[in-house]
Chain A
Amino acid sequence: MPGTRNAASEGVDLAYIGRVLRVVSVADFKLKYADSSLGYAWSVAKPLAYFAVLYAVFGRFFRLNLGFKHYPAYLLIGIVLWTFFLDTTNLGLWSFVGNSSLLKKLAFPRIVLPMAASMTTLLTFAVNLIVLAILIAIDGLRPALSWLFVPLLLLELYVFTLAISVILATLHARMRDIGQVWELAGQLLFYATPIIYPVGFLPRWAQYIAFANPFVQVLQDIRAVIVPQREAMTVAVVYGSEAARAVPLATLTIMLMIAWWIFKRDEPYLAELT
């Protein structure tokens, strides 16, 4: 911190950060679900309920499932990943403003707050992935060696989601209506992203734009690995070049840089701003 030297707090104490992350995550979890075990059950069931509705409407009624054999798995992957992204960013958005009493009274590495917020949704995500695995097994899909890429892709999604959370949380300290803005943006993004429909439904130019989004790249890569398709629409296929893999990674890098820059800029003032 500029102008302040404290011999005792020089350097980053990872064990300390780990402990803080742990207690704050547990506290966040309790705050969110303390008074209702039903609340947690719902957070786990929510993507499944969406899946049931969307499958009935788009799969059956609009007959999207005729196009491909494994539409249920394809759809559920999209919904589970999207729910994680949206829930984490929505919760992360509040991680500074909602913890102003801590920010105003104690000095600690502020970054643990958005990280802790992601732990709650990460747990729900893990449970959802188990459900997804069961559905995939029922659907008759068998594991292959290429599935080993999935954890790596999930890590990419997590990093991207955390970067967006940090940007939103920091903006929220300065602009209190950013929650409404993000809610609207989230709804628009849901329909602009090939979650319920295949990428091929988008016009060519829109596909180029969509694949600049790391979320779409991760989503399509995971689908390509798990659901056998005639021609999997991944970023390399859409752009017609393996080198195009750099496009979503560039977006991810830029988002990380923005998150770091905006967070570092405002970190010293979070106690005053919230």
Chain B
Amino acid sequence: MTVFSIDVSDVWKSFKLPHQRQDTFKERFLHPFHHVEVEQLHALKGVSFSIEQGEFFGIIGPNGSGKSTLLKLLAGIYVPERGDMTVIGRLSPFVELGVGFNEELSARDNVRVNGALLGLTMRQIEERYDEIVAFAGLERFMDQKLKNFSSGMKVRLAYSVSIRVEFEILLLDEVLAVGDQEFQEKCFETLETIRSQGKTIVFVSHDVDAMEKQCDRVMRLYRGEIVEIGPPDEVIERYMATTHSMG
């Protein structure tokens, strides 16, 4: 019997885009019964799939196809409008170029806040702190405010935190997008270890070569719908064919 980590069944998510701005008290006070036309943007239109425990599961698709929305739903940051999702195990989410950071705080404080939010105890944070910093290679920068970090440095730090919390499922959204070659290699090394521990990895990326090499299965999204789920080489080949024929 296969053990599921994630089971998603007919999940829908849309965002409301009001045509006129009505997000002020003044507007509501002056026009309390004014009806605003709202456009629904359907980011996900009834997606269903399951991910097995220990699987390295890739998600590809053009910009705006709903990949990040799906990861945020899995992480519990958004709630589905319809449908059910079951997640078995603790999650470590890395979405939108990293875990939640406050630009005005030092990198050190950001690690503490995020470590605690991701479920570490104070003691665990202290114990793992040096490791987190060393892996990110940011020893000299930890007292600086995060706003002085380059996007590459932020991703290194965020990734380093995400993989050192307690989890069974790792969600990675474009972790490779801004890192350098050396960081990418380190990334894959750690992912290999995580995988060998039997943990589940959900991997969103535009790096099709990496996907083909690493993933057990790949899912292709297009405009909020699943096009197909299958072996990496086949799914990627057809994906490349469509993007090329379109471009």
Contact = CB atoms under 8 A, between A and B. Distances in A.
A1 B76 contact: yes
A108 B117 contact: yes
Given A5-B84, A105-B95, A271-B72, A31 B102 contact: yes
Q: Interface on chain A toward B: helix, strand, loop, or mixed SS?
A: helix
Nearest to A6: B87
Contact of A107 (B77, B102, B112): B77
Given A3-B80, A6-B76, A178-B25, A106 B99 contact: yes
Given A5-B87, A23-B116, A177-B26, 15 more contacts: A6-B87, A6-B91, A7-B89, A8-B88, A8-B90, A8-B168, A22-B116, A23-B112, A34-B104, A103-B77, A104-B96, A106-B114, A107-B77, A171-B25, A177-B24
Contacts of A108: 117
B49 interface: no
A122 interface: no
A24 B80 contact: no
Given A5-B86, A108-B117, A271-B72, A30 B77 contact: no
A3 B25 contact: no
A175 B28 contact: yes
Given A16-B119, A31-B105, A7 B88 contact: yes
Contacts of A34: 104
A102 B102 contact: yes
Given A102-B100, A106-B100, A175-B23, A30 B109 contact: yes
Given A8-B89, A175-B25, A24 B75 contact: no
B24 A9 contact: no
B100 A19 contact: no
B87 A4 contact: yes
Interface in B64-122: 72-73, 75-80, 82-91, 93, 95-96, 98-105, 109, 112-119, 121-122
B15 interface: yes
A19 B91 CA distance: 18
B85 A3 contact: yes
